Amino acid sequence: MTPAPVALLLSLMSFLALLSGCGDSTDTGMAVQNRPVTTSLKPASDSRLAEGIRDAATGKSEKLSGFYLLDDGLSAFVARAVLIEESTVSLDLKYYIYEDDSVGRLLTSLLLKAADRGVRVRLLVDDLGTRVVNPWILALDRHPNMQIRVFNPVEGRSGVKRALEQAANLGRINHRMHNKLLVADGLAMITGGRNIADGYFSKSSVEFLDVDVLAIGEVLPQSGQIFDSYWNSLVSVQVSELLIADDDAHTLEELRKRTKKLLKDEEGSEFTRALEQSRMAAELSSGKIPFNWGEAKLLADPPQKALGEDNIPREAYPGFQLEEIIRDTEERLNISSAYFIPGVIGADLFTGLEKRGVSVGILTNSLSSNDVAIVHGAYARYRKRLLRGDVDLWELRTVAGEERRKKWFRGDSKATLHAKTFVMDRDLGFVGSINLDGRSLLQNTEIGLLMENAEINQQLHELFGEWVAPDSAWAVKLSDSGKLEWHAEDEDGKAIVEHKDPETTLWQRILSWLLSWLPIESQI
């Protein structure tokens, strides 16, 4: 954990760097001649997965897509593992964070096994979210059926050189690929908020409350086109072009031995038990997954956004498209957003909806569950404005979901909200990677699935209700004197009222307040 004075200094340095950053916005600093253009393969047609999806779609219009929510970490892990194991033609993945931990190693092992049986695997990761320094990655990339690319990298892999290159190219690298997408055989996809790391799948000292959606049907060609546009982008660099240490020991055969040992070591772990006990593979292959059907659109920023190009129309940004849909909301709007900085425009939008009779509820992180003090400081400026406009506001408690986690994993863990969901009226739902802050809307590239279906809408509404329950979240209110109060309940259902940000130290509150004065709202 970074000492508080150092954290403040780093934030100030970042601010100064942002002010002075003037790096070339189009030059990645690396040649592009070794980046062959590849596109999505034709979907599988004679596999168990293909047969199961055909059965699930029997009687459904070709214009519709099927949706299945993955609202707990273990189910989300199992779904990814099953799709990888059932694939026979292609696997395309892109993630902001892909960690070298239990989940990352397990899924990578399954990807290697898929490549060994002839599946083409393309993996795209972000350079900031995923530090690509492990020399075993080069062994993976040398597999004839595997390709790994890094989005918007600097050439230096570590140390002073990397820091200097980041400073010199800040105008470009300030734009990150925040996407999360897995496409299997061109038949099924998973998107949502989860990265590939233990904390997103319920195994960590900090668990991220999150949600994904498994989708099939008409939306799948959209996912392939979007992946291809990122994969073939100017700023997607083959991992072999980066300066990663390599030696003769890092061979594919040695990697296969390591993979076999890893899978053996993981026998009996929570993840392998969940996969063994799951019926998802059988249900997918038999068409028995209870998909809900409706029209859908996969919203994604163009990868050119990472180049800071000014000629991209606002209408191409998912954030703008969501804003237009939200403005037309007539009855209810529930939003969960890990980072929430509405700005004046957003605050006016939400309070204006309330004036029109729309019930607006927003869940974000509390100061104690937030991992970025400067974000909380910026958000805190708008709390009273929203509450005066009758917007319902909740902040996640660190104990949220604790009992559910203990059913599988030993030890305590702290909860933090990572989900980005929207419930609009009675028939629209959105699950994706988009936070309501300047960084998501203006800087990063994002993705998410807009679904028109009453059942999915209701499931997301009920999930939101669980997250904002008194044992899971603080209801933020204004007292009669106009001061902030936080309301919740203890384990026995007894009311708790706090008059300052709960579960925080004086220094945390001071730091958040100090950082809130930095004029960099669009960057966070």
Question: Residues 291-301: pLDDT tens digits?
Answer: 999 999 999 99
- Helix locations, 309-427, DSSP H: 318-327, 343-355, 373-380, 383-388, 402-406
Residue 205 sits in the same domain as residue 70: yes
Say which DSSP state 87 is in.
-
Decide if 32 is inside a domain: no
Over range 466-471, report the average pLDDT. 96
Decide if 356 is inside a domain: yes
Among this protein's residues, is 185 annotated catalytic? yes
Among this protein's residues, is 425 annotated catalytic? yes
E strands along 270-326, which residues?
Answer: 292-300
Predicted confidence band of residue 169 (pLDDT cuts 50, 70, 90): low
Please provide the distance, in angstroms rounded to a whole number, between the alpha carbons at the two ends of the chain: 20
Decide if 14 is inside a domain: no
By C-alpha distance, which of 460, 455, 464, 334 is closest to 66?
A: 455
Residue 440 sits in the same domain as residue 491: yes
Please determine, for residue 128, whether its predicted confidence score (pLDDT) is greater than 80.
Answer: no
Residues 207 and 318: their CA atoms lie apart, in Å, by 27
Per annotation, catalytic residue among 178, 305, 376, 414: 178
The larger pLDDT score, comparing residue 268 to residue 198, is at 198
Q: 141-158 as b/e, with b when 16 or more CB fall inside 10 Å? A: bebebbbbbbbbbbebbe
Tally of structural domains, the chain: 2
CB 220 within 8 A of CB 183: yes
Q: Three-state SS across 408-468?
A: CCCCCCEEEECCEEEEECCCEEEEECCCECHHHHHHCECEEEEEECHHHHHHHHHHHHHHC
Please determine, for residue 340, whether its predicted confidence score (pLDDT) is greater than 70.
Answer: yes
CB 165 within 8 A of CB 156: yes
| pLDDT at position 517 | 78
Decide if 180 is inside a domain: yes
Residue 363 sits in the same domain as residue 402: yes
Per annotation, catalytic residue among 71, 203, 418, 501: 418
Amino acid at 404: R
Per annotation, catalytic residue among 185, 210, 437, 501: 185
Residue 251 sits in the same domain as residue 345: no
pTM of the full structure: 0.88
Residue 378 sits in the same domain as residue 483: yes
| pLDDT at position 29 | 46
Predicted confidence band of residue 508 (pLDDT cuts 50, 70, 90): confident
* Percent of the residues in the chain that have a pLDDT greater than 70, as a whole number: 82
Residue 269 sits in the same domain as residue 354: no
User: What tokens appear for 93 in the block?
Assistant: 């993945």
Predicted confidence band of residue 168 (pLDDT cuts 50, 70, 90): low
HSE on the CB side for 125, CA within 13 Å?
21
Residue 384 sits in the same domain as residue 495: yes
Per annotation, catalytic residue among 141, 228, 425, 471: 425
- Choosing from 265, 285, 305, the residue where a domain stops is 285
| pLDDT at position 9 | 38
The larger pLDDT score, comparing residue 312 to residue 92, is at 92
The larger pLDDT score, comparing residue 113 to residue 169, is at 113
Say which DSSP state 42 is in.
P
Decide if 290 is inside a domain: no
Look up the domain containing 392 and give its range: 313-523
Say which DSSP state 274 is in.
H
Residue 137 sits in the same domain as residue 181: yes
| pLDDT at position 409 | 40
Among this protein's residues, is 178 annotated catalytic? yes
Helix axes 102-116, 270-277, angle to 10 degrees: 50
Residues 94 and 40: their CA atoms lie apart, in Å, by 14
Helix (H, G, I), strand (E, B) or coil at 65: strand
- Which residues, 6 or more positions from 23, have their beta carbon under 8 angstroms from its beta carbon? 168, 169, 170, 171, 172, 173
Residue 155 sits in the same domain as residue 264: yes
Residue 220 sits in the same domain as residue 325: no
Residue 256 sits in the same domain as residue 386: no
Decide if 22 is inside a domain: no
Over range 60-89, report the average pLDDT. 95
CATH of the domain at 199: 3.30.870.10
Mean pLDDT of the chain: 85
| pLDDT at position 3 | 41
Decide if 487 is inside a domain: yes
Over range 80-107, report the average pLDDT. 93
Q: 474 to each of 140, 403, 469, how far by Cα in Å?
A: 46, 18, 8
Please determine, for residue 154, whether its predicted confidence score (pLDDT) is greater than 90.
Answer: no
Render pLDDT for 370-386 as a digit per residue (tens, 0 to 9): 878 888 999 999 999 99
Predicted confidence band of residue 249 (pLDDT cuts 50, 70, 90): low
The larger pLDDT score, comparing residue 113 to residue 19, is at 113
Per annotation, catalytic residue among 94, 305, 414, 420: 420
| Residue 376, number of CB atoms within 10 A of its CB | 29
Residue 257 sits in the same domain as residue 377: no
Decide if 298 is inside a domain: no
Per annotation, catalytic residue among 180, 203, 376, 414: 180
- Which residues, 6 or more positions from 169, have their beta carbon under 8 angstroms from its beta carbon? 23, 24, 27, 29, 154
| pLDDT at position 505 | 87
Residues 435 and 346: their CA atoms lie apart, in Å, by 13
Helix axes 252-265, 102-116, angle to 10 degrees: 130
